[in-house]
């Protein structure tokens, strides 16, 4: 849409975008691209900040346009169940299912901003345990949030 980026290092340029949008669901990225295409007045690449604004707008749009969230009667119990399911997962697919259940609630702003990143940290570690890959340990903040003892 915007042609080649005008930079001496296109790979590094694109890596900035990839890093900034990491973890954003595909449907939100697609909606954000539509927002940028409709609003962009110049044929130059949008800044990362402009893209992040479009992602925020797209999250609201995706929530309005079809994500029907079930009300949660006991939020803490529901969230603890997601955490337990990630920790007990036997396959990477099991983890992906749990994350896909949490993402719409995050996009809708129904859960604290720290909750999904915390769940993603736990999911990353569990994936590493399942696949045998070496992964980073939980941060002290995530340990406090999940109730795990700090080492």
Per-residue H/E/C for 32-75: HHHHHHHHCCCCCCCCHHHHHHHHHHHHHHHHHCCCCCCCCCCH
Whole-model pTM: value is 0.47
For 41, the domain range is: 10-64
Residue 5 inside a domain? The answer is no
- Number of domains within the chain: 2
Same domain, 56 and 82: no
Q: What are phi and psi of 109, to 5 degrees?
A: 80, 20
Same domain, 81 and 137: yes
Instruction: Indicate the pLDDT class of residue 72, thresholds 50, 70 and 90.
Output: confident
Contact yes or no for 104/111 (Cβ under 8 A) = no
Mean per-residue pLDDT for 103-120? 85
Q: Supply the DSSP symbol for 1.
A: -
pLDDT in tens, 55-66: 888 776 665 555
Same domain, 24 and 47: yes
- Looking at 27, 43, 64, the residue that finishes a domain is 64
Q: What are phi and psi of 29, to 5 degrees?
A: -60, -40
As a whole number of angstroms, the distance between CA 127 and CA 38 comes to 38
Contact yes or no for 63/107 (Cβ under 8 A) = yes
Same domain, 55 and 79: no
Which of 9-13, 24-28, 45-49, 83-87 ranks highest by mean pLDDT?
Answer: 83-87
pLDDT in tens, 130-143: 988 765 555 666 66
Rg (CA), the chain: 18
């Amino acid at each position: 849409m915007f042609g080649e980026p005008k930079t001496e290092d296109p790979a590094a340029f694109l890596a900035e975008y990839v890093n900034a949008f990491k973890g954003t669901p595909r449907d939100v990225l697609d909606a954000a691209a539509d927002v940028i295409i409709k609003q962009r007045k110049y044929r130059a690449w949008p800044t990362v900040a402009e893209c992040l604004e479009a992602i925020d707008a797209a999250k609201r749009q995706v929530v309005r346009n079809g994500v029907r969230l079930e009300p949660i009667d006991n939020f803490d119990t529901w969230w603890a169940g997601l955490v337990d399911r990630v920790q007990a997962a036997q396959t990477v697919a099991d983890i992906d299912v749990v994350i896909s259940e949490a993402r719409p609630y995050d996009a809708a702003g129904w859960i604290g901003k720290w909750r999904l990143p915390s769940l993603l940290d736990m999911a990353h570690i569990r994936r590493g345990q399942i696949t045998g890959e070496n992964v980073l340990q939980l941060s002290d903040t995530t340990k406090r949030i999940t109730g795990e003892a700090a080492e």
